[in-house]
């Protein structure tokens, strides 16, 4: 079984903005708490991803590349609006960070993710890393579809 071990953090400043981002467009065929089924288009490639219930910082994850045309059709079947973001990949101290700059109704939100081999694995924090949001469901991509960042961010002001 494939397992994703991931930690998420908010981001400060713009020092993380390196290289050319990849535009991602994704939607959800299922956004149940126990499982999500996601369709993603990244540049000219399409993927279908199934994720199980998160326990700690781990969850089952199965990702498959699918034909691009199938991905476009599946996006049209998705529940709720599509999520769009630019993804930057940054190497720092031997670790690969994926930084997502959200667009549309989630504009203003920037999240850095690191995938680990083990839940206890240590890593060096880049200077642009801020608050950890790993366990906060508001920041789950599937939840940002139904409750976009700009709505709850402004509601808290």
Domain limits, the chain = 3-155
Work out whether the CA dihedral 30, 148, 126, 16 comes out positive or negative.
positive
List CB contacts of 152: < 8 A, sequence separation 6 or more.
138
Across 75-81, average pLDDT: 94
Superfamily of domain 3-155: Hypothetical Protein Pfu-838710-001 (2.40.320.10)
Catalytic residue among 28, 88, 140, 149: 28
* Residue 141: count of CB within 10 angstroms of its CB: 21
Annotation marks residue 28 as catalytic? yes
Confidence (pLDDT) at 80 = 86
Confidence (pLDDT) at 147 = 94
pLDDT in tens, 20-67: 999 999 999 999 989 999 999 999 999 999 999 988 899 999 999 999
Strand extents, DSSP E, 12-148 = 22-32, 35-42, 45-52, 58-66, 79-92, 95-102, 110-115, 129-132
Question: Is the confidence at residue 18, as pLDDT, over 60?
Answer: yes
In terms of Cα–Cα distance, which of 66, 46, 59 is closest to 142?
59
Please tell me the total number of residues recorded for the chain in this structure: 157
Give φ, ψ of 116 to 5 degrees. -115, 160
pLDDT in tens, 86-120: 999 999 999 999 999 999 999 999 999 999 999 99
Question: Is the confidence at residue 7, as pLDDT, over 80?
Answer: yes
List CB contacts of 33: < 8 A, sequence separation 6 or more.
53
Farthest CA pair distance, the chain: 43
CA distance 29 to 77: 7
Question: Is the confidence at residue 156, as pLDDT, over 70?
Answer: no
């Amino acid at each position: 079984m494939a397992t994703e071990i991931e930690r998420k953090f908010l981001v400060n400043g713009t020092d993380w903005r390196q290289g050319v981002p990849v535009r991602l467009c994704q939607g959800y065929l299922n956004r149940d708490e126990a499982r999500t089924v996601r369709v993603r288009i990244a540049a000219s490639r399409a993927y279908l991803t199934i994720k199980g219930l998160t326990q700690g910082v781990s969850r089952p994850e199965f990702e498959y590349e699918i034909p691009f045309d199938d991905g476009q059709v599946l996006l049209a079947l998705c529940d709720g609006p599509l999520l769009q973001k630019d993804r930057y990949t940054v190497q720092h101290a031997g670790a690969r960070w994926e930084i997502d700059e959200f667009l549309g109704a989630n504009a203003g939100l920037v999240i850095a993710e690191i995938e680990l081999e083990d839940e206890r694995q240590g890593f060096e924090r880049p200077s642009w890393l801020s608050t950890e949001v790993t366990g906060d469901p508001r920041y789950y991509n599937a939840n940002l579809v139904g409750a976009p960042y700009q709505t709850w961010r402004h509601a808290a002001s």
